[in-house]
Structure 1
Amino acid sequence: MKLIQARKGQFVYYNNELHKIYSIKPLAKKSILMFRIKDMEQVASKAEEVTYYKPKHMDSLLFLGAKYTLREDRTAEEGGYILITKPDPDYMDHYALNEFEKVEAVEGKDVITTRQNTVKSREFYVMVPGEEPGSNDITYQDKSKVSAEQLEEDAKLEDVIKEKHALRPSVGDVYLNLDNGATAMVVAIAQEEVTLGTGDRLTIHALYKADNWHYLYSLNDGSSI
């Protein structure tokens, strides 16, 4: 179904690939800002160019190069990921539709994420690593249109992303914040501390391990993922 009213956080297909809307600029010619879920590549489009998709139990997808299956009948595990599809945050929590969060602790069926959000089991799907038997692959809207070469590249994508994320940051590197869709450039590095244009300060190790900051490209060489 084509979108009439776009909403931040929605999953959509654009150019046959699964994306997530992270911002909407109503007055812009291309008002829908999104990133491709499999590798976080950003793109802008018009609302009529995207097709809405609501993720379901037993859907499988590529997220940062790795395949996961969405399950509503599994208990989350520490260190694993969840996808929040029915957000109902308490006043102290900060999360929204279709956010990917990493689990820090499990309390019964509920979880506490690494961003210190307490998320109830009815709000999320557990992202089980791998493509489980009987799952519905939603990485592409129509997989018959995907070339064998593209599928081969997808199979190598996780290693490519890990290699790029392992690079030591440099001034001019640009990162995407998955929490709010903001982009920020590295403006200073002092020993092991990185300062971003947003004012955030992290150690190099913390930036590399962060669940919400993802490397996009460097202004110095134009490379991107």
Structure 2
Amino acid sequence: MNLLQVRKGQFVYYKNELHKVYSVRPLSRLSVLMYRIKDMVQESCKAEDLTLYKPQHMDSLMLLGVRYTLRKDVGAEEGGYILITRPHPSQMDYYSLNEFEKVESLIDVGVYTTFHNTVRKREYLVMVPGVDSDANEIDYLDYSIVTESQLEEDIQLENEAKKLSVAKPSVGDIYINLDNGIKAMVVAIIDDEVALGTGERVKSTELIESNSWNLIYKTGNESF
């Protein structure tokens, strides 16, 4: 592939696995910088080592251990994710090809994202969690040469993502401080910081990993 055809944001296959280009350095020997989508492992290579891919409706991919199906026939949801495949940003917006963005709110023309971008419906595919029965999995270019170790790695990534999802604090969760016996509800989450009903603000990792805190109620559970 000619170097002039490679640009930031493109989905490409490298060593049979799906990657996304995040930078192109024309004067460098390994001119293309990218990351593997399933786990964000970074790679660099020459343009001729790549195979271009354009994501489409009903494609399924793994992002950081979580599998999604790309859909154009369903509406976005607040708190969900979109993949911007046909970017046409206004002067006030800052997004480009194949960016993953989280939906903050729904608006008439499309969505408003947590990165303060207004993205129109024609510009994105909705990332629906899970894999549809009719979906086309695109994590590998040629599934016939995928190794057992790669499949095991994928399973491990999915299991780790599920554990993190369960452990991650959510608004409405109730924790008990084992040092003083006080119970506190999560009332807000700002980036990696959690605001508790007691007025305390702690890091998410502190709630999950500290011996001082214990989860006693998870939002969505019927009982303590």
Deviation at 1:4, TM superposition (A): 4.2
Deviation at 1:151, TM superposition (A): 1.4
Deviation at 1:109, TM superposition (A): 5.8
Deviation at 1:51, TM superposition (A): 0.6
What's 2:35 paired with?
Answer: 35
User: Structure 1 vs Structure 2: percent identity of aligned residues?
Assistant: 56
Deviation at 1:161, TM superposition (A): 5.4
Query: Taking structure 2 as the reference length, what is the TM-score of the superposition?
Result: 0.71
Match for 1:160: what amino acid? Answer: E
Match for 1:68: what amino acid? Answer: Y
Structure 1, unmatched stretches of 5+, are 167-201, 210-225
Q: Contact 1:87/1:97 (CA < 8 Å) preserved in 2?
A: yes
Deviation at 1:205, TM superposition (A): 2.5
Aligned ranges for residues 196-215 of structure 1 at < 5 Å? 204-205=192-193
SS at match of 1:28: coil
For 1:128 and 1:47, the matched residues in 2 are separated by 31
Match for 1:90: what amino acid? Answer: S
For 1:109 and 1:134, the matched residues in 2 are separated by 28
Structure 2, unmatched stretches of 5+, are 168-189, 195-202, 205-224
| Aligned residue pairs, count | 173
Is 1:14 aligned to residue 31 of structure 2? no
Match for 1:74: what amino acid? Answer: V
Q: Return 15-24 or 2-11, whichever deviates more.
A: 2-11
Aligned ranges for residues 180-191 of structure 1 at < 5 Å? none
Match for 1:8: what amino acid? Answer: K
**C-alpha RMSD of the superposition:** 2.4
What's 2:58 paired with?
Answer: 58
Deviation at 1:47, TM superposition (A): 0.3
Match for 1:102: what amino acid? Answer: K
Match for 1:14: what amino acid? Answer: Y
What's 1:80 paired with?
Answer: 80
